[in-house]
A and B are shown apart, each in its own frame.
Chain A
Amino acid sequence: MQKKRVVSPFFPHTAADIQDMLSFLEINEIDQLFADIPEKIRLKKKMNLPKPHSEAETERHILELLQPNCTAADGPSFLGGGIYQDHIPAVARYLSQRGEFLTSYTPYAPEISQGMLQTLFEYQSLICELTGMDAANSSMYDSGTALGEAARMCARLTKRNLFHVPEAIHPDRMATLKLFAEGASVKIKTIPYSRASGQLDLISLENSLSKDSCGIYIENPNYFGAIESKAPKVGQIAQDQGIPLVVGVDPISLGVLTPPGEYGASIVVGEGQSLGLPMNFGGPSFGIFACRYDRKMIRTMPGRIIGMTKTEKTKKRAFCMTLQTREQHIRREKATSNICTNNALCAVNSAIYLSLLGPQGIKKHAELLMARNQLLAERIGNIAGYIAPVFGKEIPHFRDHVVQLRKNGKKADDLNRHLLKEGIMGGTILTHSFKDLGEAILFSVNNQQSLNDYQRLEEELRRF
């Protein structure tokens, strides 16, 4: 049966082209090329999908579909905890989405892909500058999978299997870590935080170490926004035990804070979204993964790595993917990870962002966030019924802090609902994941909030 020809800007085949090609193949219709599919499994009904639409119809449809969404442009938002809403320099998107970058594949053919390769090499380098590491891969999917891969790497390095992790991390990161650990028979030992300071309980950590320990993970700042004042001590503990220290960072905080490389970290991971990416409901972002350089360590690192080299004849500086024998396309079941496609373009975007900000910019940005967090905590803490930050004014924080509600048994869930009704998005409720914090919410700052936003928040907190 002669089917109606589907015309589309994405199908170049004219009727004449198709006729020529069918003649050349000595067949009468395209369907003959599918004749080897057994009759009994061939799809005979139409897929339950929409009919074709024009570009304009598609745009209208999606606008309508998303209409009910509230963005932070609609009202102040105090959400954070790893994903943040800072202003992104306008030019970043125009550069990272140039077609030559956007529509290229993994740069396996180096001579034609120097653009992507050099950009990713620079990305790796800038991450190393921030974190104090020697080498970085060209991205992982997110902070959770980066952490999972770090745990597996520690197990491979030490040939042991007990990985120590703070309780005070994002529940999604913990869940992802557990799944990655399961496949490698790595056991997770959680270390509690001090209820007084919100920081890691070092005595618990020390008591939990054993001959099975393969690595220690800490976050600095931690999930509660608290800066781990004793992080260098953890570095010492890890060194004494002879195991790697893995530090999870907020990349912007490294504009002000000492890089983990300077206090004993062997591996650094983190969430890259705040380096110039939109929030995108949590993805795509990317996972930062960097480590010290020693031959053993680098050969067990997961992910794609770009290296610098020269051209064979002209000895020009050039870049290519390197140490590929760690990867799945060569080592198959012996690969360090199965990762293939990563989040390269997000990494490119963050390299552009870091290049625009520069050392002074990232410092100023970090300082602004610390200042605002301090101010916000003060303002909230001055309102009866609220403790902010819950761990006390002596504990240094970065850009998040925990607010505890002590208002006649009122619930954090209800507070957020009240705020939402007034067009304000309150922070993430911690009560369900961290029961001993009571009615608690993680408040966060960014450089899009205004003084007016803080005033409105105060009003509503009082009214609740």
Chain B
Amino acid sequence: MMKMRQANWNEPLISEMSSPGRIGFALEKLSEEEQNALKKTVILVPKELIRNKPPQLPELTELEVVRHYTRLSQMNFGVDCGFYPLGSCTMKYNPRINESIAAMPKLSQIHPEQDPDSVQGTLALMYQLELWLSSICGMAEFTLQPAAGAHGEFTGMMIIRAFHKQNNELQQRTQVIVPDTAHGTNPATAAMCGFEVVVVPSGQDGCLEIEALKEAVSEKTAGLMLTNPNTLGLFEKEICEIANIVHEVGGLLYYDGANLNAILGKVRPGDMGFDVVHVNLHKSFSTPHGGGGPGAGPVGVTKELARFLPIPIIAFDGTKYSLNYNRPHSIGKVRTYFGNFGVLARAYAYIYMLGAEGLTRAAELAVLNANYLKKRISAIKGFSVPFGEMSPHKHEFVASSDALKRSKAISASMVSKYLLENMVHPPTVYFPLIVPEALMIEPTETESKQILDEFAEILSRLSSSDPESLPETLPTGFTTAIDKVDEKEAARRPILSFKMIRDQNQKK
């Protein structure tokens, strides 16, 4: 019945493949002039600062390097390989045209400190992208500097901080409110910006409870961080009232754009009342996740907050683009240079290809897929969707396998390992915390009905299986590259580099 399996190479560490004397890349020889110049300059460096032995890098031919990484890649699973329904990550297909575009010399072979006159094309692309994101989100202005969603959150919260500082209210506004379903980056960001985190419980329906929010806000509130739809995949219907409550006490509203894929073209965070918004280009806008990055987290703000945006601002006078550093209220910079331009360009290409119709359709199909899969899974014994079972979800939903745990002692962790065994990447598990044995599932719009049916069938098989018949540990290593990893041991006795391996061996 097993259809697919990963390669299993028992691949050595690259350090174990090394043969002294081999090279993987030929460099030009120094000319005589260069050799003399080298002597002249090295002699100026104190002896203790000249390396007395070369770094222990591996010595391999190009072919050996190619084989090593090719084999390693065959023991890795991406969207290209199969279904990857990680909630809130929006693992949609990454169109390859984005990669060809990103490799164009006039895009990639540009130094950030070139005279703006020599990079008018780059500035035009960024300027246009800002306009498009403003229209998509209903915000006045954008910055493209942040390198990731969390970085965008940091940028946005520092803008909120600057706003309160300008109004001489920063001393009093020490608190940031987050719902109990918030993604970990939200409270982590608030703390990074020097705020105290106040957690507000969700109500019976999985949405922010208005009464609880009213109790939590005060003159100490700097702002509220929210995502909509929330991490349960439910649209916060009371968002307008939520916005009023926070604004009335003088706080600002921050939008975590992780779930934007659900609402493209349907409703905009700006229209919901948000003051600051971040967008994850590596989620809704198809740029590849790359095993953990690089991403990009542009931040949009209302007109009133635009003065705080990081510098420089890209300006256009009708004929020429320029970089404007003359922004006295700017928070400064959140990173070097201008942003992850290579990522921005991919998102630009995607938006240009899909257009308004395509993006809206993406949201519609993402939502259709999620609701279809939700209903199929709800019908499987042992699984339920505790919040919003009867209301429409958006692009994701959180199932609970709690009943399966009670009846057959099969936990969400085991569900996820069983999925791995069946060559499906598991959904996000044990998040959000308010759902027991949580499985956060986001199919995205690039998956077909057949894939969704297959996924439901796998869970159905698990549900009806006799727990005694399941392998003792999952995954078995028969389909995935290896069997279950001892993650506890990794934390108990950290071995984090070749050096630490050597140090450990020496101790023995």
Contact = CB atoms under 8 A, between A and B. Distances in A.
B365 A112 contact: no
Contacts of B351: 49-50
A114 B75 contact: yes
A185 interface: yes
A341 B281 CA distance: 12
Contacts of A100: 73-74, 76-78, 80-81
A52 B474 CA distance: 45
A279 B345 CA distance: 14
Contacts of A359: 54-57, 59
A41 B239 contact: yes
A425 B114 contact: yes
B206 interface: no
Contact of B483 (A37, A306, A314, A344): A314
Contacts of A30: 364-365, 367-368
Contacts of A101: 73, 76, 78, 290-291
Nearest to B477: A314
Contacts of A322: 487, 490-491, 494, 496
B326 interface: no
A312 B496 contact: no
A63 B45 contact: no
Interface stretch (B115-123, B213-221, B247-255, B403-411): B115-123
Contacts of A128: 497-499
A206 B238 CA distance: 58
B87 to A, nearest CB: 11
Interface string B468-503: 000011010100111111110111001111111101
A48 B272 CA distance: 18
B338 interface: yes
Contact of A232 (B25, B48, B268, B294): B48
A134 B497 contact: yes
Given A25-B372, A51-B357, A307-B495, A313 B473 contact: yes
Interface in A76-115: 77, 79, 81-83, 85, 89, 91, 93, 95-107, 109-115
B15 A125 contact: yes
A69 B57 contact: no
A43 B265 CA distance: 7
Interface residues of B, number: 209
Nearest to B64: A355
A282 B55 CA distance: 27
B76 A116 contact: yes
A343 B480 contact: no
Contacts of A375: 33-34, 37
Contacts of B74: 100, 115
B357 to A, nearest CB: 5
A344 B108 CA distance: 19
Given A24-B375, A114-B72, A283-B341, A179 B334 contact: yes
B187 to A, nearest CB: 4
Interface stretch (A157-165, A208-216, A238-246, A327-335): A327-335
Interface stretch (A53-61, A187-195, A456-464): A53-61
A41 B332 contact: no
A286 interface: yes
Nearest to B91: A105
Contacts of A320: 485, 487, 490
Interface string A338-353: 1111111110100110
Interface stretch (A249-257, A380-388, A403-411): A249-257
> Which among B57, B154, B332, B371 has the greatest number of chain A C-beta atoms within 10 A?
B57
Contacts of A352: 65, 69
B101 A312 contact: no
A185 to B, nearest CB: 7
Nearest to B40: A374
Interface string B209-248: 0000000000000000000000000010101100000000
Contact of B333 (A105, A175, A263, A378): A175
Contact of A337 (B147, B192, B354, B365): B192
A141 interface: yes
A416 B115 contact: yes
A394 B45 CA distance: 9
A120 B349 CA distance: 29
A314 B94 CA distance: 35
B315 interface: no
A389 B207 CA distance: 64
Given A107-B291, A134-B497, A49 B337 contact: no
A340 B336 contact: no
Interface in A179-209: 179, 182-185
Contacts of B149: 340-341
Given A62-B348, A281-B119, A309 B154 contact: no
A369 to B, nearest CB: 10
B52 interface: yes
A419 to B, nearest CB: 10
Given A109-B426, A293-B496, A344-B291, A185 B194 contact: yes
A425 B362 CA distance: 43
Interface string B56-69: 11111010011011
Nearest to B135: A48
Contacts of A323: 491, 494
B78 A103 contact: yes
A278 B371 contact: no
Nearest to A283: B340
B45 to A, nearest CB: 4
A367 B269 CA distance: 53
Given A73-B109, A280-B108, A183 B194 contact: yes
Contacts of B497: 121, 124-125, 128, 134-136
Chain A CB within 10 Å, residue with most, of B75, B191, B194, B485: B485
Interface in B367-406: 367-368, 371-372, 375-376, 391-394
Nearest to B194: A183
A141 B147 contact: yes
A36 B235 contact: yes
B301 interface: no
B328 interface: no
B461 interface: no
A281 B266 contact: no
Given A119-B72, A343-B147, A361 B336 contact: no
Contacts of A107: 76, 291-292
A52 B55 contact: no
B361 A8 contact: yes
6 contacts: A68-B121, A73-B109, A77-B114, A255-B55, A331-B184, A338-B191
Given A102-B78, A122-B15, A283-B294, 12 more contacts: A8-B361, A41-B272, A82-B336, A109-B416, A111-B483, A113-B77, A114-B482, A118-B75, A227-B45, A279-B108, A281-B119, A283-B342
In the A-B complex, list the 9 residue pairs whose CB atoms are closest, starting with the nearest.
A282-B337, A115-B76, A345-B290, A282-B112, A103-B78, A344-B292, A99-B80, A284-B294, A356-B24
